[in-house]
């Protein structure tokens, strides 16, 4: 029971963080009415774990143009989550990529043109993890993994993972259809976000309507809402 | 790459079951008028269409060819009483296209019923026949059947096609079971039940090549064997069939030792032979159909490659 109680608490903390990011992304070019830089409060293990789950998307408003910069709390959380959870050498590739993506986002928002509220540049993360494991993955598992790594679906992101994804647009589109059919809204939203940065998406997919459908059916989950809003912003031409 | 033997075996076993249970194809001459005498023609019509495909493709093997011919003879002589039941149905419902639809595959194989053809010719002249309200893919099927009969389709097939779900290539994530059946039947009619894959316009073939793998994956996981079988037929009608390995293996795995193919999940628990037949005959016919077309395409692809 303790396990499930902890799990529920963590899910609640992730939802809170995701909800804040989703709010900041709302409205595209307009500043959020709910700024992320709420007064700092003490953060515990639960917040750190939640930050690790959300990963680089915690800083997404600061990465995309025309969205409010991340608040001091989010930046602090992101920094500490990055330091607290270095992936072991045996980590699953998605874990390694997720950590790398968080480092990349920290480097972006703390750089000279970054939007971080406090000084202190975070260096480039280490070398990219391996992406070859994804090259031959069947389209259902490709989509599953990419949805987990949706924080890397950014307009100008160029890394080994995005290069693999760019060569498999139809497979990701199939994965989007599969996820919607199976009512896996989180995976559908993540795949939908990837499709906004991939070339030659089949027009018969009906992606804009599909994203609206995902929001309508699964938008009660803040993580779904975050991905859908990110997809819309990126699809509308917002850059980093 | 799917094992062609596995695909072929599914069809051979399905045909054995159909032959062993051929008495299940029967009409109910004394049926309640509210139900309609023509309701029971559907299984016979499907048997005629699919056995004529088995014959035409000629890849099933000599025993299977004999069984298919035997089933057609049985249906014509025993079930349709040499065609007299078709006429009786036509007299009960003069405007119904069903007797003529059932008749056409038999006529193409040499069975003859001139009186029924006169009904079809008259009906074809009537505006009422062209105006019958039907689902768009069935309207397309009626137009295709008119062309096969040497009649000018009313409406033209292009016009009928335009009203179907598939012709509009809508969002593939909206497909539910009933829409998927509309798609499969539109493809059957366009390709003359697999005989003419070129009958599928390139635009629609591209659409299906993109999204069919998702639907195969979905209905395989749902263990909806009847629909999965029809989708495997569609695959065999595409310019480049995938012969989806996972789908074929699951489909073959669902088939019972006696060749029966469950409709969804497993066989129903019933001791009523007719009730069981009514549930199983269609997916088993579809299994024979999908197997025959896929085997034929695989062999012809092999011949072209060598």
CATH classification at residue B198 = 1.50.10
Chain B within 8 Å of A181 (Cβ-Cβ)? yes
pLDDT digits (tens, 9 = 90+) for A66-106: 677 777 888 999 999 999 999 999 999 999 999 999 999 99
Contact A204 B172 (CB under 8 A): yes
Residue A35 has pLDDT above 70, yes or no: no
| pTM for this entry | 0.93
Closest CB to A178 among B170, B210, B218: B218
Give the model's confidence band at A120: pLDDT under 50 very low, under 70 low, under 90 confident, else very high. Answer: confident
**Chain-wide mean pLDDT for chain B?**
94
Chain A within 8 Å of B239 (Cβ-Cβ)? no
Closest CB to A181 among B207, B213, B218: B218
Chain B within 8 Å of A206 (Cβ-Cβ)? yes
Closest by CA to B290, choosing from B236, B222, B246, is: B236
pLDDT digits (tens, 9 = 90+) for B112-170: 999 999 999 999 999 999 999 999 999 999 999 999 999 999 999 999 999 999 999 99
Contact B170 A210 (CB under 8 A): no
The answer, yes or no, to whether ipTM is higher than 0.90 is: yes
DSSP string, B164-200: STGGG---GGG--HHHHHHHHHHHHHHTTTTT-GGGS
Q: How far is A87 from chain B (nearest CA, A)?
A: 34
Residue A30 has pLDDT above 50, yes or no: no
Residue of A nearest to B207 (CA): A204
Domain ranges within chain A, ordered by starting residue: 2-235
Count: domains in chain B: 1
Contact B175 A181 (CB under 8 A): yes
C-alpha span between A172 and A229 (Å, rounded): 19
Give B172's contacts in chain A (Cβ within 8 Å). 177, 204-206
Lowest mean pLDDT among A38-42, A67-71, A127-131: A38-42
Residue of B nearest to A182 (CA): B218
Chain B within 8 Å of A140 (Cβ-Cβ)? yes
Residue of B nearest to A170 (CA): B210
C-alpha span between B260 and B281 (Å, rounded): 8
Closest CB to A140 among B175, B207, B217: B217
Q: A177, A178, A185: which to substitute to probe chain B, counting the most B Cβ within 10 Å?
A: A177
Chain B within 8 Å of A183 (Cβ-Cβ)? no
Chain B within 8 Å of A202 (Cβ-Cβ)? yes
């Amino acid at each position: 029971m303790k396990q499930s109680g902890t799990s529920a608490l963590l899910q609640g903390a992730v939802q809170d963080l995701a909800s804040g990011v989703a709010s900041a992304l709302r409205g595209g070019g307009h500043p959020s009415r709910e700024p992320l830089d709420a007064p700092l409060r003490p953060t515990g293990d639960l917040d750190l774990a939640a930050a690790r789950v959300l990963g680089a998307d915690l800083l997404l408003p600061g990465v995309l143009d025309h969205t409010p910069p991340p608040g001091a709390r989010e930046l602090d959380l992101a920094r500490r989550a990055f330091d607290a959870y270095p992936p072991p050498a045996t980590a699953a590739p998605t874990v390694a990529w997720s950590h790398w993506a968080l480092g990349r986002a920290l480097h972006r928002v703390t750089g000279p043109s970054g939007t971080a509220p406090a000084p202190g540049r975070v260096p480039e993360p280490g070398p990219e993890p391996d992406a070859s494991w994804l090259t031959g993955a069947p389209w259902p598992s490709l989509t599953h993994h990419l949805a987990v790594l949706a924080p890397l679906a950014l307009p100008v992101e160029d890394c080994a993972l995005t290069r693999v994804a760019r060569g498999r647009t139809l497979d990701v589109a199939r994965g989007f259809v599969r996820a919607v059919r199976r009512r896996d809204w989180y995976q559908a939203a993540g795949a939908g976000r990837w499709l906004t940065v991939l070339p030659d998406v089949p027009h018969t997919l009906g992606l804009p309507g599909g994203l609206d459908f995902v929001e309508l059916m699964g938008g009660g989950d803040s993580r779904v809402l975050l991905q859908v809003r990110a997809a819309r912003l990126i699809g509308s031409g917002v850059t980093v | 790459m799917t094992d062609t033997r596995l695909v072929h075996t599914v069809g051979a076993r399905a045909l054995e079951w159909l032959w062993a249970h051929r008495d299940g194809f029967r009409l109910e001459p004394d049926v309640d008028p509210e139900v309609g005498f023509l309701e029971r023609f559907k299984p016979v019509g499907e048997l005629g269409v699919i056995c004529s495909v088995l014959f035409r493709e000629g890849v099933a093997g000599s025993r299977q060819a004999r069984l298919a011919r035997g089933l057609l003879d049985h249906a014509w002589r025993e079930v349709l009483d040499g065609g007299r039941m078709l006429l009786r149905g036509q007299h009960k419902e003069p405007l119904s296209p069903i007797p003529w639809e059932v008749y056409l595959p038999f006529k193409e194989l040499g069975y003859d019923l001139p009186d029924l053809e006169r009904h079809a010719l008259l009906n074809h002249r009537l505006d009422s026949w062209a105006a019958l309200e039907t689902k768009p893919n069935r309207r397309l099927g009626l137009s295709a059947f008119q062309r096969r009969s040497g009649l000018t389709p009313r409406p033209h097939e292009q016009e009928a096609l335009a009203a179907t779900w598939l012709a509009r290539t809508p969002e593939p994530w909206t497909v539910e079971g009933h829409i998927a059946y509309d798609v499969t039947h539109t493809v059957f009619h366009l390709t003359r039940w697999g005989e003419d894959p070129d009958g599928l316009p390139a635009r629609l073939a591209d659409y299906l090549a993109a999204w069919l793998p998702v639907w195969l994956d979905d209905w395989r996981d749902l263990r909806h064997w009847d629909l999965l079988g029809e989708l495997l037929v569609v695959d065999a009608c595409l310019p480049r069939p995938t012969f989806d390995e996972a789908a074929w293996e699951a489909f073959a795995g669902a088939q019972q030792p006696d060749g029966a193919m469950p409709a969804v999940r497993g066989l129903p628990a019933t001791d009523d032979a007719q009730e069981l037949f009514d549930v199983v005959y269609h997916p088993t016919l579809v299994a024979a159909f999908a197997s025959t077309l896929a085997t034929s395409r695989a062999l012809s692809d092999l011949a072209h490659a060598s």
